Every structure is written in structure tokens, then in C-alpha cells.
């Protein structure tokens, strides 16, 4: 039968075609086609949160705002609360449109691709900024609704080594249950929409690359999930930082103060004398002013809109250095 089939191929297609067909590998389910498969080998964010070397944020229903704006940053970027935090807020995604970077002349000057040039981006930013940002965010934690993006039901990661030395290009194998695989196709009307969808769907996969890299080449470094860094929390952070600086100066002077608490008292105030001592002791300065005082003045002057930024992740290194991760 095999000889008969070979003779039939030679007679039909010629000897050269017969040889190519005989020795070429058979391609099954070749990953090509007319539609962009943006979910190809994508790792869902819910699965990445189960990775042993990735620090995830808590489930949105477990976050309580309390009296601290700092807790706004605990909401995941796939939660409805994170979407609500954008109301009336100037974020980095809206900044370029607000500044007119996509307008014709400006776009040509700075080299923005023609496919991205549009006056609609400025109009969209203007429409979104017309609403006023709430001053009370407690409703975010009071409303407990079902979240659309849930974590993986089982841990899809299997450790590839027992000791601390990483001998492979990654330290955990990804083996999700078949029912939890990201599947499905979607038809896109233009290449631009496909690129945007690819960037969104593959974001967790790109963060995983960073997790694998820093785990192997920077021992002690940790990649963590990031929510919204809200402008309202900055003043609270400044007061906390000033309080810690005050305690450091007093410990240097008196030499007998206990270590400062992890959170500052809500009514913590710093006298001018202490602030001057802090600036004189080598703390961060902007000109002759303490940088925290300058930021505080900007907040109280209300010259800036309510700002916010949501990086793709945060990298904390063993030496205390903190970096923003953008993929």
C-alpha cells in the first residue's frame, strides 16, 4: 500500500514533489490564519496572582477604605472600584490627550504615528474630566458585588526546583486546568484594535516575564501587583514621612527615643523648628525647602487636578530600591 501511494504521488505531482511530501513534517493545527488570536498562550491575571513569587492585591470585597486614602491603592485594576476611581481624575492614560500630543502639528513634531493622531483623544479626555471626583470613597468598600475577574480555583503553578538556585529560565511551570484556559476568538475590524486587545490580554504574561527575570537574576527582588496611586493619598504619605523624619531627628538629638510606629498618628503635626532641623539634617530638599513641604503646598493650593497613576506593577529590590514596572 505504501509503495502504491508513493507511485501515485510520483505519477501525479512529479518526483520532486513526492520527495518533499515524504520527508516534510506534517503540520497539524498550524497557528496561522486571517484572524488575530490575541489570546495565544496568554496567562490570565487570576492565574498570575497564584504565582509563588508574585505578590497580589487582596480581593476587592476584602478591602476596607476606613479613614485612609492609602487604601484606595489596594483595589485591583480589573475591579469595578478601580474603574470608579477614574471619575474626574487626570490619569497618565488621559494626560497625553489632554496635552494635545495627538493633534496634527504637535503629533508631527514629536513623531506620533499617523494611526494614533486624532482630535477625538483630547475631546474624550475633556469629557471624562468634566465629572467631579468624589471626596468620600467609602462607598467602594460598602458595596459588595460579584467581581467579574476571579482568581484561579486551583494553583496552576508547579515548582521546578527545591533549593534556592534557579537552574532553568523560569522557576515554575504553568499547568492550568483545561477548563480555566483562556480560549475563544474575536474578529477585529482593524489592526489597531487588535494591537490594543493584545496589549490588554497579554499584560499578565508580560508581568510574568518580569517575575521570572528578577527571581533568577536579582535574588531578593519581588514583583507585586499595583492598583491606583491616588493623589488624595499623597498628603497622607507626606504627613507620615514628615512624622518619621521628625522622629529620626529627635532620636539623633536625644538618642533615647523608641523606634517610630509603622503608621503616623492622625493628628501628627511638625513644628517649624523640627522641620528646619529635618531639612538641615540631610533630608530630601528642593532648593532650600524640604521636598515634602513643597508637595504639601502644591496639594493645599489646589492648582493641580486630582491625579492618579496605575503602573503595571511594583518591583521591590533587596537593597530597598523601589521601581515602577511598565510592560
DSSP of 252-267? HHHS-PPPPPSS--TT
pLDDT of residue 7: 47
pLDDT of residue 171: 72
Exposure string (b/e) for 89-124, b if CB count within 10 Å is 16 or more? bbbeebebbbeebbbeeebeeeebeeeeebeebbee
Beta-carbon count within 10 A of 134 CB: 15
pLDDT of residue 265: 41
pLDDT of residue 85: 92
- Give CA–CA dist 77/81, Å, rounded: 8
Going by C-alpha positions, the residue among 311, 58, 2, 39 that lies closest to residue 197 is 39
Instruction: Write out the three cell numbers for 97.
Output: 490627550
**Element holding 315 (H helix, E strand):** strand 313-316
pLDDT of residue 33: 67
Flag whether the pTM goes above 0.95: no
Going by C-alpha positions, the residue among 111, 90, 108, 89 that lies closest to residue 99 is 90
Question: Cell match 482568581: residue?
Answer: 151
- Give CA–CA dist 12/64, Å, rounded: 74
pLDDT of residue 145: 60
Q: Is the dihedral of CA 252, 258, 261, 264 positive or negative?
A: negative
- Give CA–CA dist 196/191, Å, rounded: 9
- Give CA–CA dist 84/50, Å, rounded: 26
Question: Cell match 486551583: residue?
Answer: 154
- Give CA–CA dist 186/104, Å, rounded: 32
Beta bridge partners of 224: 55, 314
Going by C-alpha positions, the residue among 86, 57, 93, 5 that lies closest to residue 207 is 57
pLDDT of residue 54: 93
pLDDT in tens, 158-198: 776 554 454 556 677 777 776 555 555 677 777 778 888 88
Asked whether the beta carbons of 325 and 206 are under 8 A apart, the reply is no
- Give CA–CA dist 225/58, Å, rounded: 10
- Give CA–CA dist 128/86, Å, rounded: 9
pLDDT under 70 in the chain at which residues? 1-33, 143-153, 160-170, 178-185, 242-296, 298-303
pLDDT of residue 162: 52
Amino acid at each position: 500500500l505504501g509503495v502504491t501511494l508513493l507511485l501515485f504521488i510520483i505519477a501525479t505531482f512529479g518526483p520532486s514533489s513526492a520527495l518533499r511530501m515524504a520527508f516534510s513534517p506534517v503540520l497539524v493545527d498550524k497557528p496561522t490564519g486571517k484572524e488575530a488570536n490575541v489570546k495565544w498562550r496568554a496567562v490570565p491575571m487570576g492565574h498570575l496572582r497564584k504565582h509563588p513569587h508574585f505578590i497580589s492585591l487582596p480581593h476587592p470585597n476584602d478591602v476596607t477604605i476606613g479613614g485612609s486614602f492609602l487604601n484606595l491603592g489596594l483595589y485591583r485594576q480589573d475591579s469595578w472600584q478601580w474603574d470608579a476611581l477614574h471619575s474626574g481624575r487626570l490619569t497618565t492614560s488621559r494626560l497625553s490627550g489632554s496635552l494635545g500630543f495627538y493633534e496634527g502639528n504637535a503629533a508631527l513634531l514629536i513623531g506620533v504615528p499617523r494611526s494614533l493622531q486624532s482630535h477625538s483623544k483630547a475631546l474624550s479626555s475633556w469629557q471624562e474630566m468634566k465629572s467631579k471626583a468624589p471626596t468620600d470613597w467609602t462607598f467602594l468598600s460598602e458595596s459588595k458585588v460579584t467581581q467579574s475577574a476571579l482568581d484561579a480555583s486551583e494553583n496552576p503553578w508547579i515548582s521546578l526546583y527545591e533549593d534556592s538556585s534557579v537552574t532553568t529560565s523560569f522557576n515554575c511551570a504553568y499547568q492550568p486546568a483545561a477548563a480555566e484556559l483562556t480560549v475563544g476568538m474575536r474578529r477585529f475590524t482593524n489592526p489597531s484594535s487588535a494591537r490594543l486587545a493584545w496589549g490588554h490580554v497579554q499584560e499578565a504574561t508580560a508581568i510574568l516575564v518580569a517575575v521570572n527575570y528578577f527571581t533568577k537574576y536579582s535574588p531578593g527582588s519581588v514583583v507585586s501587583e499595583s492598583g491606583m496611586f491616588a493623589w488624595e493619598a499623597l498628603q497622607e504619605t507626606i504627613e507620615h514621612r514628615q512624622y518619621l523624619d521628625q522622629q529620626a531627628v529627635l532620636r539623633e538629638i536625644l538618642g533615647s527615643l523608641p523606634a517610630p510606629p509603622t503608621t503616623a498618628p492622625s493628628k501628627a503635626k511638625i513644628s517649624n523648628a523640627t522641620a528646619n532641623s529635618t531639612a538641615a539634617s540631610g533630608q530630601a530638599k528642593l532648593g532650600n525647602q524640604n521636598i515634602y513641604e513643597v508637595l504639601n503646598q502644591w496639594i493645599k493650593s489646589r492648582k493641580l487636578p486630582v491625579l492618579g497613576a496605575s503602573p503595571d506593577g511594583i518591583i521591590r529590590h533587596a537593597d530597598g530600591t523601589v521601581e515602577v514596572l511598565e510592560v
